[in-house]
A and B are shown apart, each in its own frame.
Chain A
Amino acid sequence: MMKSYTQPDIRGHFGKYGGKYVPETLMFALQELEDAYTGAKNDETFQNEYHTLLADFAGRPTPLYFASRLTEKYNRAKIFLKREDLCHTGAHKINNVIGQMLLAKKIGKKRIIAETGAGQHGVATATVAAKVGLDCIVYMGREDTRRQEPNVNRMKLLGADIIPVDSGTQTLKDATNEAIRDWVTNVRDTFYVIGSVVGPHPYPMMVRDFQSVIGRETREQLSQRQISSPDYLVACVGGGSNSIGLFYPFIENDSVTMIGVEAAGYGITTQQHAATLTLGTPGVLHGNLSYLLQDANGQVMPAHSISAGLDYPGVGPEHSYLKDTGRVRYESVTDAESLDAVRELSQLEGIIPALETAHALAYLRTLLPDTTAGETVVVNLSGRGEKDLGTIFKELHYT
C-alpha cells in the first residue's frame, strides 16, 4: 500500500502542477465555485439530488462487463469493460456535468457555457441544461463541427447554441480559448462547465471527484465477482477525466498497475500527435501548469489525433504529477491502431467504441501478452462510437 494520497493541496497544486493561472477577473468566480463545491460535499439535499440524477437520469451504475471473446483471443488475463458508453448521452462526461450543473443552480448562475471537442461533453452539457432549464452555449472548433456532425445536431435539438470557433487549429484548444473569453466577459451570471480535469483550480479536483464514481463502482463490481483488486486499469487520456475517474479510487493500492493511453496520431516520431505526457514539457495553458506540447519559445503546438476528444495539446495537471511520481504509466497508440481496435471490439463483442476509447483498447495488444491467466484487466469503455461512424467508414474504406 502507498501512503495516503492527499493531492491537491489547499491552493490546487498537485506537486508543482495545477494552480490558478487566470486573469484577475475570474478569481472571484473560482473562489465562489470552490466555496459552493466544499459546501455541497456535506449538503445532504445536494448529494441526494446528485445521486438520484446519476441513477435515474444518467443510468448509473453502469455494468462491468466480462469481455469473454476478447479475453479468449489473448488467452491471458481476464478483460473487463466498464461500460460508461451506456450512460445517458453515450459517454462518462455526464457524471461530471450533473455535478457542475447542480452547483451552477446552487450558486444562482443563469447561463451555462461549455467547450467541446468530440461533442460528448457538449451533448452532456446541453442535455443536463435542458433538464434543469438553463441557457446553454457550446463552443466547438469548426474542424470538430465537421468531423462530429451527429453531435452538433444533437446539441441543436437539445436547445443549445453552438458557436463554431475559427481561430487557431479550429479544435478543442481554440474552443477552450473562446469559452474562457466568454467567461471573462460574462462571469457574473455565467457558469463555465469544464469537461475534463483541466482548467484552473478547483476544476481538476472537482471533475476528478465527480468522475471517480467510475472507479468506486468498478471496485464494488469486482468484489461482487470475488476479485478483491484488479491488476491493471487501462483508460485513454486526452484531458484525462475518464482515466482519473477510474484510477483515483485505486490510487493508494500499489498492487494496481495503471496505464493511461494517449493519442500518437500519425506516430510519436512525427509532428502530428497528441501525446502530451509522452513528449511534452511543463507549461501553462488554460489556467493550469501541466505537461504541454509547445515549441522552444513557449508557443503551444497544434496537436493531432483522429479522435477529436484526444486532439488537445494539454493534459490535466494531476496526470503530470502521477507521471512524474511514476504512479501511472503513460503510453500512446496511433490513429491506425485505434481504428483497428474499433473494428475488433465491434466484431468480437458487439460493442462499437468511440475513437477516443479505442486508444485504450488498442493498447491491450501490447499489454496482454505480459499478463497471466489469473490476472484482471479493467478497461474504461468511456464512450460509444456512433458519433464517429463517418470518420470510421472513411478511414476503414467501408462502402
Chain B
Amino acid sequence: MNNRIHKILNTCRKTNRKALSIFITAGFPGIDATPSIVKTLEKAGADIIELGIPFSDPLADGPTIQHSSDSAIKNGVTITTVFDIVAKIRRDSDIPIVLMGYVNPVMAYGMEKFMKTAATKGVDGLIVPDIPVEESGEYREFALHNNLAPIFLAAPTSSDERLKQIDAASEGFVYCVSLTGVTGKTNGLSDNVSGYLKRCKKCITHNPILVGFGISSGKDAHDLAPHADGIIVGSALIKRIQNQRNGDYYPEINAFVRDLREGLDNN
C-alpha cells in the first residue's frame, strides 16, 4: 500500500523530521469551522490530520473529547457531513487525512459503503479504537481493498506478541497509546513511557510508531520525540478551542501547534 500517509512518513524518515498528527472532532465547534481549522494546523506544522467522527458513547475518551463529540452531534454532524468536510479540505490541501471514530456509526453507515466513500472523498487512513485486531476481519479487508490504511492501537498493557500482531495488521503507522487511560490526561507523561516505546520499537518493525494520549505541551513533544517517529495531539488542542469564548481561537491554536512543532524539531 502507498498513499499520502506512507509518503509523508517516508519523507519524515528521510529528513529526520518527527511527524506531528493533530486530532480534531469533525464539525466542532461548527461544521464550517473544520476546513479552516485544518488549514491553520497545516500551516503551523501539522503533517497528518485526524478527523474525529462524533459518537454518543465515546468510551476511550475523557471529558474534553466527550464534550466536543456531543457538540458536533448537536451541530448535526453525521458520517455524511464528515465526508463533505473531507471533500472540502481536499479542494486545496493534500495533507494526509485519517478518520477516527467508534465502530457503531461506521456499522450503521455500512462498513463496505463507508470505505468506498471514504476513499472517493480523499481519506487515507482509519483509526477505530474499539476494533481490536481480533474483531478486524471485515473492517481490515474493506479498508485495504480501498487503499485506506487500517491503523491499530498499541497499549502499555499489550504483550510483545500482541505488538507484533498489531504491527502485522496495521498500515501507515501504529498508534502507540502512551498510558493506560482515556484521552485528555494532563498530569504529565508517565515515567516508564520511554521503556514502553523502546519495547514498541523492538516489536513494531513494519510500521512507523506515533505516540498519543496525554501529550499537552511543546515540552511533552520534545521529551517524546527521541522515542517515536511522531506524536499525536488531540484534547489539548480542543481544550484551547473550547476556552476561547469570543470564538477567535485561530491565533491560540496556531501558537500551540508551532510550539509542538518546535518541541519536536529541537532535538
Contacts and interface: CB of A to CB of B under 8 A. Distances in A.
- Interaction A to B: yes
Interface of A: 11, 19-29, 167-168, 173, 177, 180-181, 184-188, 281-287, 292, 294, 296-300
- Most A Cβ at <10 Å: residue of B57, B159, B162: B57
Contacts of A294: 104, 108
Interface in B123-156: 129-132, 134-135, 152-156
27 contacts: A11-B134, A21-B132, A22-B130, A23-B130, A25-B177, A25-B180, A27-B132, A27-B158, A28-B157, A168-B57, A173-B57, A180-B59, A181-B182, A184-B180, A184-B181, A185-B181, A281-B108, A282-B107, A283-B104, A284-B104, A284-B130, A285-B104, A296-B108, A297-B78, A297-B79, A297-B109, A299-B55
B56 interface: yes
Interface string B174-198: 0001001110000000000000000
A20 to B, nearest CB: 6
B257 interface: no
B108 to A, nearest CB: 3
Nearest to B73: A299
B103 A24 contact: no
Nearest to B185: A185
A21 B103 contact: yes
B107 A298 contact: yes
B108 A297 contact: yes
Contact of B108 (A19, A24, A298): A298
A298 B106 contact: yes
B66 interface: yes
B155 A24 contact: yes
A281 B106 CA distance: 14
Given A23-B129, A24-B132, A177 B59 contact: yes
A204 B13 CA distance: 45
Given A11-B134, A21-B135, A23-B129, A299 B158 contact: no
Contacts of A28: 157-159, 162
B56 A300 contact: yes
A298 B258 CA distance: 36
Nearest to B154: A24
Nearest to A292: B104
Given A27-B162, A177-B59, A298 B105 contact: yes
B60 A184 contact: yes
B74 to A, nearest CB: 11
A177 B152 contact: no
